[in-house]
């Protein structure tokens, strides 16, 4: 029966209003034209500053360069070199580990803060502002603050640790501790942004849904789990993609705080590409590292896009 | 004409865009325009206030001495200096003249980016410079720049910290400079006398300062490149001695654990905060230390190994290969290394001259003039065969190789033999040596 109705619906002709169609067509064309006009500046800038360099980087990745003049075409030699380069694999592993740690923590802490500051809390505006402030500071400035905090000789953190009688931590000379310090500073920088997006998502959820859930006997955890989390699906999808991309692209905090050290314990793909491209001027190889990074990001985004059910969920 | 908001926005955009771009330091240089017949040079540099003021005085004097000549000084932050210069060279609109560290000089000279000054300099021009300085601006036996000033590392010390450990005197002449063993004894005395979180010294080899480790290699009478400047020569007894001596700083707790090559904490910061009693430092730090520190401090010579030695720090001035005014550029480089000009620059900026006459007669720093003889004396230990290696076209790559391997050796992850072999292999890769 259902199938028959559906079949009828499908063959039913659309209402014919020939006289008004012409006007509608003109209006549609005008709207499309206006849309394209609005898009054009962005498309031009995107093309000029993103797509052209992107294609250029792919071209350079097939070249041997010394920083000046035209490179020499070497086919996939730079990519072959990547396979046997232990520093590249170390940087890739560090980047993946950094992403795996930072992404869920940023989102989890951001969600927690958003839920907290969305509730009736005294001076919540102040707390929100405090969390968002790091967003307004550049990554380099944030990292410089990180250096002051994590200086293992006389930094604020080790001074506090020693004050309470604990042994100081080798934040700069120990590989694991240095990695943790980079993660902590990144979280401080990024949680505010995650909170902001989740807060916007939370404010779009109507209170009647919570009332209905409460009437159905749902406790606070059940309401959070079955109402809040699913309806924040689009926010979570957006933040997941953005956090992963940001994590893959992490540069300034690592570059300033640790320079990739000690012993490459915090070296990530972008710092390695930067050093290769701008310090040793091996730009072909640096471009190959960049292209690998791009491919990893593409693959992740495509997989997440296809597997995400919550990205378009709305109330 | 009806002046609408749209017109205003378009006009504002057109006016502000070039301003914004030039603010980033990325706006194309004004043409030096031999095509227009003008005698204008563009000169890009970074610098402290004292250095820039001295450059401004030199430029004014040059313009007065050369009617119609004009030099446009473009000062940029050091962090952006060479990414900008590289981009400008690649785009075909570089400045006529720029300032470059000796350890970066070879990257440009060896890749045909600099002007060969041979045809433009009078014979005997090189006689004004010390042998070490002139050797540092050669590429394939041709001068591609002029050595503008140098600097090398000596030791600055906190007087109270040394006295509290019973060290009441330090060497006052090159001949009496501590030997490596004596420096180790001094460090051991300080180690025993100070709390665990205060260290005897800090070494200034962070970042590109890794070339300052070469001081120890030269003191051991070693080389990192053979005389053909292609084959690696670091895997030697001298290399092993320098590496073991520097590694002992960490194993004996003479330096803080974070005094590594890639550390974000510079040695000077460690010393400023009195976390170390001594620091290896160039003369350039004297004005800042004088203004900043509230404890009494002095300077002494770097130690001697097999011989005295030091890294050849400092900067050259170079002209770009495609400058429209090669004669004028060469004339400026000649002028800027005149005795009065170099004295003014070095005395006001606390840097060391590359001219023979000034090195011999001495200069007086504006700040702490009594320390000038120590740094001048230390600079005199630098030999031409040491500084010529730093001018290698592959120095940028060699620096990376040194950074990675020394970092690993200092952390105790790699043996001396493996480290030296790895450095030698890393050097041979770009140089094509064996």
- CATH number of the domain to which A160 belongs: 1.10.3720.10
Peptide bond into B327 cis (omega under 30): no
Would you say residue A175 lies in a domain?
A: yes
- Contact at CB, A262 and B265, closer than 8 angstroms: no
- Contact at CB, A152 and B397, closer than 8 angstroms: no
Q: Of residues A193 and A14, which shows the higher confidence score?
A: A193
Provide, as residue numbers in chain B, all residues whose Cβ is less than 8 Å from the Cβ of A266: none
Name the residue of chain B whose CA is nearest to A69's CA. Answer: B90
Provide, as residue numbers in chain A, all residues whose Cβ is less than 8 Å from the Cβ of B92: none
| Residue B100, beta-bridge partner list | B316
User: What's the rounded mean pLDDT across residues B40-57?
Assistant: 94
Decide if B271 contacts B278 (C-beta within 8 A): yes
Q: Strand B39-45 to strand B69-75: parallel, antiparallel, or no bridges (unpaired)?
A: parallel
What pLDDT, on the 0 to 100 scale, is given for residue A6?
Answer: 44
What pLDDT, on the 0 to 100 scale, is given for residue A9?
Answer: 46
Q: What gap in Å lies between CA A153 and CA B273, rounded to an integer?
A: 9
User: What's the rounded mean pLDDT across residues B412-423?
Assistant: 92
Quickly count: other Cβ atoms within 10 Å of residue A82's Cβ.
Answer: 19
How near does any CA of chain B get to the CA of A256, in Å? 7
What DSSP line would sit under chain A, residue for residue? Answer: -HHHHHHHHHHSPPPP-HHHHHHHHHHHHHHHHHHHHHHHHHHHHHIIIIIHHHHHHHHHTTEE--SSSPPEE-TTHHHHHHHT-HHHHHHHHHHHHHHHHHHHHHHHHHHHHHHHHHSS-TTHHHHHHHHHHHHHS-HHHHHHHHHHHH-TTT-HHHHHHHHTTPPPP-TTTSHHHHHHHHHHHHHHHHHHHHHHHHHHHHTTS-HHHHHHHHHTT--HHHHIIIIIHHHTHHHHHHHHHHHHHHHHT--HHHHHHTTT-STTTT--HHHHHHIIIIIS--HHHHHHHHHHHHHHHHHHHHHHHHH-SSTT---
Residue A1 has pLDDT above 50, yes or no: no
Residues 6+ apart with CB under 8 A from A62: A73, A74, A75, A76, A78, A284
Q: What is the band of B94 on the pLDDT scale with cuts at 50, 70, 90?
A: very high
Tens-digit pLDDT profile for residues A91-148: 999 999 999 999 999 999 999 999 988 887 788 888 888 888 888 888 889 999 999 9
What pLDDT, on the 0 to 100 scale, is given for residue B413?
Answer: 77
Tens-digit pLDDT profile for residues A57-68: 999 999 998 778
User: What's the rounded mean pLDDT across residues B280-305?
Assistant: 95
Which of A264, A255, A265, A258 is closest to A150 using CA atoms? Answer: A258
- Contact at CB, A67 and B265, closer than 8 angstroms: no
DSSP character for B266? -
| Residue B281, beta-bridge partner list | B154
Q: How far is CA B389 from the centre of its chain?
A: 14
Quickly count: other Cβ atoms within 10 Å of residue B201's Cβ.
Answer: 25
What pLDDT, on the 0 to 100 scale, is given for residue B6?
Answer: 52
What pLDDT, on the 0 to 100 scale, is given for residue A261?
Answer: 83
* SS3 of residue B134 by DSSP: helix
Residue B21 has pLDDT above 50, yes or no: no
Chain B interface, best mutation among A279, A284, A285, by max B CB count within 10 A: A279
Q: A8-17, A31-40, B398-407: lowest mean pLDDT where?
A: A8-17
- Contact at CB, A263 and B408, closer than 8 angstroms: yes
Q: What is the band of A306 on the pLDDT scale with cuts at 50, 70, 90?
A: confident
What DSSP line would sit under B28-86, residue for residue? Answer: PPPP--TTTT-EEEEEEE---HHHHHHHHHHHHHHHHHSTTEEEEEEE--HHHHHHHHH
What pLDDT, on the 0 to 100 scale, is given for residue B4?
Answer: 57
Q: Domain boundaries in chain B? A: 28-150+313-376, 154-311+394-431
| Residue B97, beta-bridge partner list | B43, B319
Which of B69, B95, B84, B107 is closest to B24 using CA atoms? Answer: B84
Provide, as residue numbers in chain A, all residues whose Cβ is less than 8 Å from the Cβ of B265: 147, 151, 153, 172
Would you say residue A138 lies in a domain?
A: yes
Would you say residue A10 lies in a domain?
A: no
Q: Of residues A282 and B38, which shows the higher confidence score?
A: A282
End-to-end, the C-alpha distance of chain A in Å comes to 30
What pLDDT, on the 0 to 100 scale, is given for residue B363?
Answer: 93
Angstrom distances, CA of residue B19 to CA of A109, B13, B25: 41, 10, 10
Would you say residue A51 lies in a domain?
A: no
Structural domain of residue A105, as residue ranges? 86-307
What pLDDT, on the 0 to 100 scale, is given for residue A301?
Answer: 82
What pLDDT, on the 0 to 100 scale, is given for residue B424?
Answer: 97
- Contact at CB, A275 and B413, closer than 8 angstroms: no
Residue A158 has pLDDT above 80, yes or no: yes
Residue B208 has pLDDT above 90, yes or no: no
For B110, the enclosing helix (H) or strand (E) is: none
How many distinct structural domains can be found in chain A? 1
Residue B434 has pLDDT above 90, yes or no: no
Which of B18, B80, B34 is closest to B322 using CA atoms? Answer: B34
- Contact at CB, B86 and A278, closer than 8 angstroms: yes
End-to-end, the C-alpha distance of chain B in Å comes to 75
- Contact at CB, A278 and B399, closer than 8 angstroms: no
Q: What is the band of B343 on the pLDDT scale with cuts at 50, 70, 90?
A: very high
Which of B89, B396, B407 lies nearest to residue A280, judging by beta carbons? B396
Over pLDDT 70: what percentage of chain B? 91
Dihedral, B162, B166, B172, B175 alpha carbons, nearest 10 = -120
Would you say residue A144 lies in a domain?
A: yes
The pTM for the full model equals: 0.82
Q: Of residues B43 and A16, which shows the higher confidence score?
A: B43
Rg (CA), chain B: 23
Q: What gap in Å lies between CA B144 and CA B326, rounded to an integer?
A: 12
Tens-digit pLDDT profile for residues A217-267: 888 899 999 999 999 989 998 999 899 989 998 999 999 999 888 989 999
User: Which ipTM score applies to this complex?
Assistant: 0.79
Task: Please determine whether the domains at B28-150+313-376 and B154-311+394-431 fall in the same fold group of CATH.
Answer: yes
Would you say residue A38 lies in a domain?
A: no
| Burial tier of B380 (Cβ tally within 10 Å: 0-12, 13-18, 19+) | middle
Which of A87, A153, A263 lies nearest to residue B275, judging by beta carbons? A153
Name the residue of chain B whose CA is nearest to A167's CA. Answer: B197
What pLDDT, on the 0 to 100 scale, is given for residue B24?
Answer: 44
Dihedral, B181, B187, B188, B191 alpha carbons, nearest 10 = -170
Provide, as residue numbers in chain B, all residues whose Cβ is less than 8 Å from the Cβ of A256: 264
What pLDDT, on the 0 to 100 scale, is given for residue A315?
Answer: 52
B122 and A CB contact within 8 Å: no
Rg (CA), chain A: 26
Residue A298 has pLDDT above 60, yes or no: yes
Over pLDDT 70: what percentage of chain A? 90
How near does any CA of chain B get to the CA of A272, in Å? 11
Task: Considering only the C-alpha atoms of chain A, give the largest distance between any 2 of them, rounded to a whole number of Å.
Answer: 86
Residues 6+ apart with CB under 8 A from B243: B406, B409, B416, B419, B420
Name the residue of chain B whose CA is nearest to A143's CA. Answer: B264
* SS3 of residue B251 by DSSP: helix
Q: A62-76, B48-62, B221-235, B406-420: lowest mean pLDDT where?
A: A62-76
What pLDDT, on the 0 to 100 scale, is given for residue A311?
Answer: 56
Would you say residue A242 lies in a domain?
A: yes
Decide if A172 contacts B263 (C-beta within 8 A): yes
Residues 6+ apart with CB under 8 A from A207: none
Task: Considering only the C-alpha atoms of chain B, give the largest distance between any 2 of them, rounded to a whole number of Å.
Answer: 86
User: What's the rounded mean pLDDT across residues A64-82?
Assistant: 89
- Contact at CB, B90 and A68, closer than 8 angstroms: yes
What pLDDT, on the 0 to 100 scale, is given for residue A170?
Answer: 92
How near does any CA of chain B get to the CA of A145, in Å? 12
Distant-in-sequence contacts of B410-414, Cβ < 8 A, 24+ apart = B410/B246, B410/B247, B410/B249, B410/B250, B410/B260, B410/B261, B411/A173, B411/A262, B411/A263, B411/B250, B411/B260, B412/B247, B412/B250, B412/B251, B413/A263
Angstrom distances, CA of residue B148 to CA of B141, B281, B325: 19, 20, 20
- Contact at CB, A170 and B90, closer than 8 angstroms: no
Would you say residue A130 lies in a domain?
A: yes
User: What's the rounded mean pLDDT across residues B220-241?
Assistant: 95
Q: Of residues A173 and B7, which shows the higher confidence score?
A: A173
Name the residue of chain A whose CA is nearest to B394's CA. Answer: A280
Tens-digit pLDDT profile for residues B120-140: 999 999 999 999 999 999 998
Residue B25 has pLDDT above 50, yes or no: no
Fold of B28-150+313-376: D-Maltodextrin-Binding Protein; domain 2 (3.40.190)
Dihedral, A29, A30, A32, A35 alpha carbons, nearest 10 = 170
- Contact at CB, B86 and A257, closer than 8 angstroms: no
Q: Which residues, numbered 63 to 102 in chain A, qualify as contacts with chain B under a Cβ-Cβ cut-off of 8 Å?
A: 66-69, 87
Which of A68, A280, A282 lies nearest to residue B89, judging by beta carbons? A68
State the average pLDDT for chain A.
Answer: 87
What pLDDT, on the 0 to 100 scale, is given for residue B29?
Answer: 47
Residue A313 has pLDDT above 70, yes or no: no
Report the phi/psi class of residue B141: left, alpha or beta, with left for phi > 0 and alpha for psi in -120 to 50. left
User: What's the rounded mean pLDDT across residues B268-272?
Assistant: 95
Residue B368 has pLDDT above 60, yes or no: yes
Q: Which residues, numbered 99 to 118 in chain A, qualify as contacts with chain B under a Cβ-Cβ cut-off of 8 Å?
A: none
Which of B355, B324, B343 is closest to B42 using CA atoms? Answer: B324
**What values do phi and psi take at B139, rounded to 5?**
-135, 120
The class (CATH top level) of B154-311+394-431 is: alpha beta
How near does any CA of chain B get to the CA of A279, in Å? 6
Q: Which residues, numbered 175 to 234 in chain A, qualify as contacts with chain B under a Cβ-Cβ cut-off of 8 Å?
A: none
Residue B266 has pLDDT above 80, yes or no: yes
Angstrom distances, CA of residue B419 to CA of A139, B186, B235, B392, B401: 35, 28, 9, 21, 10
Please calculate the CA angle A38-A41-A45 and round it to the nearest 5 degrees. 145
């Amino acid at each position: 029966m259902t199938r028959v109705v559906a079949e009828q619906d499908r063959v039913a002709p659309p209402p014919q209003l020939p006289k008004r169609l012409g006007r509608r067509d003109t209006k549609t064309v005008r709207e499309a034209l206006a849309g394209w006009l609005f898009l054009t500046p962005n498309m031009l800038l995107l093309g000029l500053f993103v797509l052209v360099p992107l294609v250029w980087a792919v071209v350079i990745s097939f070249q041997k360069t010394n920083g000046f003049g035209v490179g020499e075409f070497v086919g996939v030699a730079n990519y072959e070199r990547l396979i046997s380069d232990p520093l590249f694999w170390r940087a890739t592993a560090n980047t993946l580990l950094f992403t795996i740690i930072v992404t869920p923590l940023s989102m989890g802490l951001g969600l927690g803060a958003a839920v907290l500051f969305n509730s009736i809390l005294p001076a919540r505006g102040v707390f929100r502002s405090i969390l968002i402030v790091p967003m307004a500071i550049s990554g380099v400035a944030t990292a410089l603050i990180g250096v002051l905090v994590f200086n293992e000789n006389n930094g604020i953190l080790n001074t506090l640790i020693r004050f309470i009688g604990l042994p100081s931590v080798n934040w700069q000379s120990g590989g694991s501790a240095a990695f943790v310090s980079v993660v902590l500073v990144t979280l401080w920088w990024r949680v505010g942004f995650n909170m902001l997006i989740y807060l916007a998502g939370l404010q779009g959820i109507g209170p009647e849904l919570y009332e209905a859930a409460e009437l159905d006997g749902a406790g606070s955890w059940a309401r959070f789990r079955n109402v809040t989390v699913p309806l924040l699906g689009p926010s979570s999808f957006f933040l997941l993609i953005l956090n992963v991309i940001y994590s893959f692209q992490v540069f300034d905090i690592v570059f300033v705080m640790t320079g990739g050290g000690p012993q490459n314990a915090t070296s990530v793909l972008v710092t390695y590409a930067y050093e290769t491209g701008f310090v040793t001027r091996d730009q072909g190889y640096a471009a190959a590292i960049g292209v690998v990074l791009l491919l990893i990001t593409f693959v992740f985004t495509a997989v997440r896009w296809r597997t995400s059910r919550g990205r378009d969920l709305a109330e | 004409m009806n002046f609408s908001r749209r017109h205003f926005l378009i006009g504002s955009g057109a006016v502000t865009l070039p301003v914004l771009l030039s603010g980033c330091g990325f706006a194309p240089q004004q043409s030096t325009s031999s095509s227009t017949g003008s005698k204008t040079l563009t000169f890009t540099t970074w610098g402290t206030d004292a250095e820039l003021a001295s450059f401004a005085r030199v430029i004014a004097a040059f313009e007065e001495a050369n009617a119609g000549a004009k030099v446009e000084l473009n000062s940029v932050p050091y962090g952006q200096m060479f990414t900008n210069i590289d981009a400008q060279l690649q785009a075909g609109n570089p400045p006529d003249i720029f300032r470059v560290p000796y350890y970066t000089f070879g990257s440009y000279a060896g890749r045909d980016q600099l002007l060969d000054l041979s045809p433009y300099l009078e014979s005997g021009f090189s006689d004004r410079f010390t042998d070490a300085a002139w050797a540092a601006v050669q590429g394939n036996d041709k001068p591609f720049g002029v050595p503008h000033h140098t600097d090398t590392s000596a030791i600055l010390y906190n007087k109270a910290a040394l006295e509290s450990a019973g060290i009441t005197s330090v060497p006052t002449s090159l001949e009496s400079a501590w030997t490596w063993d004596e420096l180790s004894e001094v460090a051991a005395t300080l180690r025993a006398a100070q709390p665990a979180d205060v260290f005897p010294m800090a070494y200034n080899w962070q970042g590109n300062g890794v070339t300052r480790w070469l001081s120890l290699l030269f003191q051991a009478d070693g080389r990192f490149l053979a005389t053909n400047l292609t084959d690696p020569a670091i895997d030697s007894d001298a290399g092993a001695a320098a590496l073991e001596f520097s590694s002992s700083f960490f194993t004996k707790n003479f330096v803080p654990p974070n005094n590594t090559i890639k550390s974000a904490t510079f040695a000077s910061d460690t010393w400023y905060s009195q976390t170390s009693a001594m620091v290896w430092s160039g003369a350039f730090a004297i004005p800042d230390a004088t203004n900043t520190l509230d404890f009494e401090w002095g300077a002494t010579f770097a130690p001697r190994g097999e011989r005295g030695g030091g890294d050849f720090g400092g900067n050259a001035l170079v002209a770009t290969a495609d400058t429209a005014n090669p004669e004028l550029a060469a004339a400026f480089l000649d002028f800027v290394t005149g005795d009065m000009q170099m004295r003014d620059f070095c005395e006001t900026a606390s840097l060391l001259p590359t001219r023979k006459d000034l090195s011999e007669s001495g200069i007086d720093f504006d700040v702490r003039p009594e320390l000038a003889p120590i740094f001048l004396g230390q600079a005199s230990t630098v030999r031409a065969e040491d500084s010529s290696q730093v001018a290698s076209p592959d120095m940028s790559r060699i620096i990376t190789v040194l950074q990675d391997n020394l970092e690993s050796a200092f952390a105790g992850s790699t043996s001396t033999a493996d480290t030296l072999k790895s450095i030698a292999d890393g050097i041979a890769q770009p140089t094509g040596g064996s």
